Amino acid sequence: MLNKLSDTIYYLSHQDDRVRPTLGLVCGDQNSLIIDSGNSTQHAKEFLLEIEKLNVPPIKYLVITHANWDHFLGMNEFDATVIVNSQTNELLKEWQSYRFDDNSLQKYVNTNQMSAKCMEIIQADIPNRGSFKLNSPNVIFENTLTIDLGNKVCIIERIKSTHTDDSTIIYIPDEKVVFLGDSTNGRTTNSLYHFKQSLLLPMMKDIQKYDAEMFLIGHESICDSNKMNIYWEELTTASRVVKSTSLENAIECFKVENKRDPNDNELFFIQAFVNDRIVQS
């Protein structure tokens, strides 16, 4: 079921057990725009079936927020102009060369080109895999792109991100809503989950310049500005105390600076920033 955020913005909630991110729908007077296409043919079809229940203008655009498989593998199901930034386009080229039969999928898993979970979802939710080939995007932009859906402007921007180097966000000014994809999350390198410490403040600057009141994140519940501010505060407080690869030193520094123990979120972020130091070293 689609969630209604306003008269012109809807979203399909994430399902972490099925590796399904939040998908968005923005409607103008003339056209509609989709944000992310889902992790499979099946995911995309279920989203489209929900949209058909609404009386909305035709879908003209699809924006992919970044080149993680769960956000783009449903792309072929949309009869729309697909928009990506230039780096996302380069990353998608590899996927466009993939074959999706069982032997090929297993080879990609064995060579760490694909996760075992990704293979499982593809096998379950993409029929006709023998002939499946990912489509190419239609519009490639560098930094920013503005789309007018008819009295509904969407600002599409590639930003700095702790999650991927190709993150795109979509801001709807008159609604004060921003779709963040997974941009505010960390990333995994060599089995270590980490937040890129050097990109935290640049990312926050890129996002906070927009006057947003509601934030939709790929694998999180929708956040209002208060929840988002708490998230930023916990992240920055954790980052400030991490100066080496020592978790113990970081926790002790936190206690001295803040005169209290870190809460569970802050402790998780401290570990992630320590992991980043380990990755960088």
Q: Mean pLDDT, 10 residues at a time, over the chain (281 residues)? A: 96 96 98 98 98 97 98 98 98 97 97 96 95 97 98 98 98 98 96 97 98 97 97 98 98 97 98 97 91
Residue 189 lies in a domain: yes
Residues 152 and 272 in one domain: no
Residues 254 and 187 in one domain: no
Q: Which pLDDT value is given to residue 124? A: 97
Q: Which pLDDT value is given to residue 208? A: 98
Residues 179 and 261 in one domain: no
Q: Which pLDDT value is given to residue 244? A: 97
What strand order describes the sheet that includes 144-148? 144-148, 153-158, 168-172, 177-181, 214-217, 223-224
Q: Which pLDDT value is given to residue 22? A: 98
Which amino acid is located at 8 in the chain? T
**Domain count of the fold of the chain:** 2
Q: Which pLDDT value is given to residue 265? A: 97
Beta strands in the chain (DSSP E): 3-4, 9-12, 23-27, 32-35, 59-63, 81-85, 139-141, 144-148, 153-158, 168-172, 177-181, 187-189, 192-194, 214-217, 223-224
Q: Which pLDDT value is given to residue 91? A: 98
Residues 156 and 258 in one domain: no
Q: Which pLDDT value is given to residue 120? A: 97
Residues 143 and 275 in one domain: no
Q: Which pLDDT value is given to residue 212? A: 98
Q: Which pLDDT value is given to residue 59? A: 98
